[in-house]
Every structure is written in C-alpha cells, then in structure tokens.
Copies of this chain bind each other. A is one copy, B any other.
C-alpha cells in the first residue's frame, strides 16, 4: 500500500535529477543526456512501475490531449461506428477519446465537461445537448448547419429524396411516414423532404423503439386508404413496421413496402432484409474529429456534409396492382 512513485522517486533511484527523468521519459533527451544515463532512468522507472501523474501533467501543460465524445445513448450501434472513426483519427494525432452518454432530459448532476479535464468536445445533436459546454472547443454531429458551432453531418435530405424517388419509380403513390418523435434537425429534414414529394398521405410519430413503432405502424396501416409504402425514420422503427404488417396479415414487400434509415445491424437481421439509407457513421466520426483537432489548433474548419446512400434490399417492391 505504498504511495505511487513520482518522477522524483525515479530520479532518486536512478541517481539523477527530476528534470532529467522528465526529459528522458518525454523522449527529449537527444543530445542532452548520455544514452547510458537515459537507460538507467528508464530502467528505474520500469522497476518502480512509474506512471506519470496525468493531473499534474495536464496542469502543467494546460491541456490533456483527450477529447470527449458525447452521445445520446450507448444502446445504438450507430455511435459505435462514430466512435471508431473518431478514435482512429484521434489516435493518429496522439489524442485519446472517452465517451459520455448524455441527453438533455436525462442530464446527470454533473455536465460532461465537469467530469473530466478535456481539450474539446464532439457532441451529437440528438438529444439536443449542444449548449452547456462552456467555452470548450466544440464540434457538433448531425446538426443544423445554420447553427454557429462547426457541424459535420449527413446529406439527410439527399438520402430521403433517394428513398422517395426509389418508391416513386416502383410506382408507389401513397406514402406513409413513421416519424421519430424527436425534434432535431435530422428528423425535421426527413419530414420536410417527404412532405415536399406530394405523395405523403399519412404520418405517425413514435419513439425510436420497436414496440412504440409497432403501435404507430398499426395506426398507419389499418385504414381505408392504406399507404402502399411506409417510410421509417430509423431502422428500429422499420422493425416495428414489420411486426405491425405481420399482425395485420400483410406481406412485406408484396402488400406494403418498408424503408428504414441508418443501415444498422437490424437492417440485415430482418426478413426480408431492409431497404434503407446507409449513413457512413465511421466517416462522420473521422471527419468530425479532424475538424475538432483543427479547431484545437486555432483554425476554423468549414462545415462538412457526407453523402447518404440508398441501399436497396428486399423490403421494397412495386405496389400490388
């Protein structure tokens, strides 16, 4: 239960000064410390199991080389991909990434930036948590480009237009929309684009959740002018639509076509596999991290928009004649 060794302890054991230890372990001893001495220092550090005190280092340097990724939930595979992209870029530049789940509603007692000493924040706009980060450099994911913060997002409108065109080409004239009951930019755009097509005949709102989506889909499908295609704001919502269709004795895609959004794992777990929009989540993470690191360098990176690609699978077909 002895105390954790400090650089001074290492210095004592190696028979040098603390400064020298710091120099050697930082790799800045080139030409200033005899190779032999350097080895002795490293050996002593190893023997004592020395690990630098990160708090002290941060205090001294005024930065932590760590950024925080704020996500609305850990339960979505989508953010796993975002993290992967972000972490790869960060790692190349010697930065670390930690993750903190956070939404406005379920805000913990301490805001994410009060939890840890960090240099910057990458925040998802889902859940709306864009404010409250103080003056920490910030890049927002999937956010309204009109927002002052630097944002990196998907071409959601383009993706939704591709869905609409795909369904129109198949011959669908009555579209139903299962919209996420979340008021953020990305979902507002989806609704607007669909409305503009002129083919929309019904819309229901629900939580991003299979059971809730099933209920909403029942309301949408169990009506006289039943839509021949259901456009869903999220793949999970599409899973609920499948269940509702099955419950009503409707076959997907023969009786009703279904489309999703995101191309997460369930898209291919469903039967038939889901026609959906693939969002390059990993690229999003990478681009956002690149932008954030540029901000940390004092630059002002431009907003970025990434393409959203239509993936046609088995859940869409021409409507029954």
| A positions within 8 Å CB-CB of B | 4, 49, 51, 53-56, 58-59, 64, 66, 68, 73-77, 79-81, 83, 87, 91, 94, 96-101, 108-110, 113-117, 134-135, 210-211, 236, 239, 242-243, 246, 265-266, 268-271
Contact = CB atoms under 8 A, between A and B. Distances in A.
Nearest to A270: B269
Contacts of A56: 55, 59
A190 to B, nearest CB: 21
A269 B271 contact: no
A147 B117 CA distance: 33
Contacts of A91: 108-110
Nearest to A82: B74
A198 B210 CA distance: 38
Contacts of A134: 49, 51
Residue from A54, A236, A243 having most chain B Cβ neighbours under 10 A: A54
Given A66-B115, A269-B269, A55 B59 contact: yes
Nearest to A54: B117
Given A73-B80, A91-B108, A236-B265, 11 more contacts: A53-B59, A54-B116, A55-B55, A55-B59, A55-B117, A66-B115, A74-B80, A91-B110, A98-B99, A98-B115, A242-B271
A74 B68 contact: no
A79 B79 CA distance: 13
A49 B55 CA distance: 22
Nearest to A87: B108
A156 B114 CA distance: 38
Nearest to A239: B269
Copies in the complex: 2
Contact of A74 (B58, B66, B83): B83
A116 B116 contact: yes
Contacts of A265: 75, 210, 236, 266
A58 B83 CA distance: 27
B271 A271 contact: yes
Contact of A51 (B53, B101, B114): B114
Nearest to A242: B271
A100 B98 contact: yes
Contacts of A270: 269
Contacts of A99: 74, 98-101
Contacts of A116: 54, 64, 66, 96, 98, 116-117
A150 to B, nearest CB: 17
A185 B236 CA distance: 31
